[in-house]
Amino acid sequence: MKKERSALTFRRGDAVAIAGVILFALALMGYYLFFFSAGEASVARIYQEGQVVRELRLDRDVEFVLEGDFRNVVTVQDGKIAITESDCPGADCVHSGWISRPGRSIVCLPNRVEIRLEGGELTDDDVDAVVQ
Amino acid sequence: MRTKRLTTMAILTALALALSWVERMIPLELIIPLPGVKLGLANTVTLFALYQLNLPSALLILIARCLLTALFSGNMTGLAFSLTGGILSMLVMTLARHSRHLSVYGVSVLGAAGHNCGQILIAMILMHSTYIWGYLPYLLLIGTACGVATGAVSSGVLRALGGGKHHYA
C-alpha cells in the first residue's frame, strides 16, 4: 500500500526523465536546423507518397490543387507557400500556415503530401536522385 | 475471464473512447499547428489499466479503443498512427514502471515520448520520407508538457480509486 502511494507522487527521477526528453528534443532540433536549413530556400518540392510530384519556385505566385485521397489547395504568394484549403480531417496542413525558410515543411498526413523548402536549383535531372 | 474484469475493461474502453472524443473539442492544433498534436487524455485510462489491472488487459483496452475510434471516425490512416504510437508508448511505460526512481509522472512523460516516436516512425514509413523526423523535437516538447498533465490526472485518479492492487481485476 505504502509503495503503491509513493508511485503516485512526483519524484526526482521524474524530473530527470523530463529533462532527458527535453534535452534530447533540443539536440535533435539543433541537429536538424544546422544540417537541413542552410542556405536560401529557392525551391519548393512537393512530395506525395514519397515521390516528387511537383517542383516550383517561390518567386512566382501560383495556386493549384493537389488531388489524392483528399484535396489540398496549394498557394504561392510573395515568396511564401501554404496549403490554403483542404478537405482532409483536422486540416492541420492549413493551420500550419505560410512557410518561406529552408528546411521548413508542411505536411498533410491524410493526403500523404509533404511540401518541403529546399535550396538548390530547379532541375528535373535532380528528381530521381532526391527520390532515391 | 472473470466477469468483473471483463466489465472493468469494457468500462475503461468506453471511458477512453469518450476521452478521445472530448479531447477533439479542445483545439490544441490551433495553438500548435502540427499534425498529430493532442493532449493524450485517453492515456490516463491506459495508465490506470497498467497500474490497476495488468499488461494484457491494458493492451486489449488500447487496441479496442484504437479500432473503435477508427471505426467511428472512418480515418484508417489515423488507425496506423494511434496503434503504432499506442503500442510503443505502452512498451515504454511498462518498462518505465519497473524503475523505482519513477512515479506515474515520469512513466506518463516517457510514454508520451514513445508515442511521439511511434507517430514519426509510421509517418516516415507511410510517406516514404525520412525528413519527417524534423517534427520529432517539436512533438517531444509538446508531448512532455502533455505527459506531465496526464501524469497529474492519472496520479489523482489512482489516488482516489486505486485501493489495493487487483482491486478491479
Average pLDDT over residues B136-155: 94
Q: Do A109 and B77 touch (CB under 8 A)?
A: yes
Summarize pLDDT for B2-41 with one digit per residue, the tens.
899 999 999 999 999 999 888 888 877 777 777 768 888 9
Instruction: Identify all chain A residues contacting B129, using CB atoms and an 8 Å cutoff.
Output: 47, 50, 114
B34 in reach of chain A (CB within 8 A):
yes
Q: Do B33 and A92 touch (CB under 8 A)?
A: yes
Going by their DSSP bridges, the two strands A51-57 and A105-108 should be labelled as unpaired
Q: Do B137 and A29 touch (CB under 8 A)?
A: yes
Going by their DSSP bridges, the two strands A51-57 and A43-48 should be labelled as antiparallel
A121, containing H or E segment: none
- In A, minimum Cα distance to B113 occurs at A21
Q: Which one-letter amino acid corresponds to residue B59?
A: L
- Quick one: three-class SS letters along B27-63? CHHHHCCCCCCCCCCCHHHHHHHHHHCCHHHHHHHHH
Those residues with Cβ within 8 angstroms of residue B106's Cβ, 6 or more apart along the chain or in another chain: A11, A13, A14, A16, A17, A18, B96, B99, B151
Instruction: Identify all chain B residues contacting A9, using CB atoms and an 8 Å cutoff.
Output: 103, 155
Q: Please state the domain extents for chain A.
A: 2-36, 43-120
Residue with the larger pLDDT of the pair A104 and B12: B12
Q: Is B143 a residue whose pLDDT tops 50?
A: yes
Topology (CATH level 3) of domain B3-154: Arp2/3 complex 21 kDa subunit ARPC3 (1.10.1760)
Rounded Cα distance between A23 and B109, Å, is 14
CB B5 within 8 A of CB B53: yes
Spatial CA neighbour of B112 closest among B28, B47, B62, B60? B47
C-alpha cell, A123: 532541375
Q: Is B59 a residue whose pLDDT tops 60?
A: yes
C-alpha cell, B139: 512533438
Summarize pLDDT for A44-71 with one digit per residue, the tens.
889 988 888 998 888 888 999 999 889 9
* pLDDT value of position A1: 45
Its CATH architecture, for the domain A43-120, is: Sandwich (2.60)
Q: Do B96 and A110 touch (CB under 8 A)?
A: no
Rounded Cα distance between B118 and B121, Å, is 5
Q: Please state the domain extents for chain B.
A: 3-154
